[in-house]
Amino acid sequence: MTMSETFPTPDLSHLTAEDYDHVYEPAEDTFLLMDALEKDADLLRSIAPSICLEVGCGSGAVITFLGSILGSQPHYLCTDLNPRAAECAARTGKQNNISVHPVLTDLVSALLPRLQNKVDVMIFNPPYVVTPTDEVGSHGIEASWAGGVKGREVMDRFFPLVPKLLSDHGVFYLVTIEQNDPEEIGCRMREFGFTMDKVMSRKAGPEKLAILRFSSCKRTM
């Protein structure tokens, strides 16, 4: 039986209370996502990624953590709508000796078509909270949680982009809560040619969180 490797949580001491007025402070969902990536460390390394992308990077904790698993070889790109988040993500990378390259753009808009089928590891911790539709679409901190109807409005815009972005052997990690209806997400992604695995789940207060992993049906895991 092999011991699973553990990786240290990124040092976030450079981020201040003032930063967290504008940028999502890592919470249970963030840490569950990191735990899932850690659990998948062998799988991630076996992909030998060239390009890693986190959509909606917030503080940069997750892309930086991915960097601690995969090392300095891959090119780490991340996107956000919030200029403050992009700046924090770069600082978080720097604080932890990972070169993180943020781009301010809506989802991945500016990175397509160039990233077509080139992303080897993709991560999205979307705004998944069920809110009124009119709360969706800000560029400030609300953008980090406001998910609209069923908490799905933002992630639903992203799903059709997954087959455009992922490489043949690429994997995509998504954070969801029960209200987002993960089974239905699985069906939708199957139509795009992806199988779904539930890597990890956890109850955090009232939220039943699940980390879903998608990979091409053609790929044998």
Partner 1 sequence: MLLSFRTIMRLLTHNMLTSHVKGVTNGYPLKLQAENIKVMSVDFNPEFVARMIPKLEWQALIQAAESIGHLGDLPRELMPEYESNEEFLKMAHHVLMEVEVIEGNLECPETGRKFPIKNGIPNMLLNEDEV
Which residues inside 39-68 make contact with partner 1, applying CB under 8 A?
A: 50-51
75 binds partner 1 (CB under 8 A): yes
Is residue 138 a contact point for partner 1 (CB under 8 A)?
A: no
Min dist CB 51 to partner 1, Å, is 7
Give the binding-site size for partner 1 (rule: CB under 8 A).
Answer: 30
DSSP for 80-118 reads ES-HHHHHHHHHHHHHTT--EEEEESSTTGGGTTTTTTT
Q: Does 72 bind partner 1 (CB under 8 A)?
A: yes
In whole angstroms, the minimum distance from the beta carbon of 1 to partner 1 comes to 32
Residue 89 C-beta: closest distance to partner 1, Å: 9
- Pairing relation of β-strands 119-124 and 75-80? unpaired
Site for partner 1 in 98-137 (CB under 8 A): 99, 101-106, 109-115, 118
Q: How far, in Å, CA of 71 to CA of 67, rounded?
A: 5
139 binds partner 1 (CB under 8 A): yes
**Residue nearer to partner 1 on the CB measure, 85 or 199:** 85
Q: How far is the CB of 35 from partner 1 (least distance, A)?
A: 28
Q: Which stretch binds partner 1 (CB under 8 A): 38-46, 74-82, 168-176, 201-209?
A: 74-82
Specify the residue, 49 or 182, whose C-beta has the smaller distance to partner 1: 49
Amino acid at 154: V
d(CA 65, CA 129): 24
Which of residues 22, 31, 43, 94 is near partner 1 by CB under 8 A?
94
Pair 175, 26: CB distance under 8 Å: no
Q: Residue 113 or 132: which CB sits closer to partner 1?
A: 113
Binding status of residue 15 toward partner 1 by CB under 8 A: no
Cβ-contact 107, 155 below 8 angstroms: no
Contact 140, 178 (CB under 8 A): no
Give which of 152, 151, 158, 154 is closest to 129, Cα–Cα: 151
Nearer to partner 1, 27 or 110 (CB): 110
User: Going by C-beta distance under 8 Å and a sequence separation of 6 or more, which residues neighbour residue 7?
Assistant: 38, 41, 65, 68, 69
- Please report whether residue 161 would count as binding partner 1 according to CB under 8 A: no
> Using CA atoms, how far apart are residues 55 and 49, in angstroms rounded to an integer?
17
CA–CA distance, 104 with 183 (Å, rounded to integer): 31
Binding site for partner 1 (CB under 8 A): 50-51, 72-75, 77, 81, 83, 86-87, 90-91, 94, 99, 101-106, 109-115, 118, 139
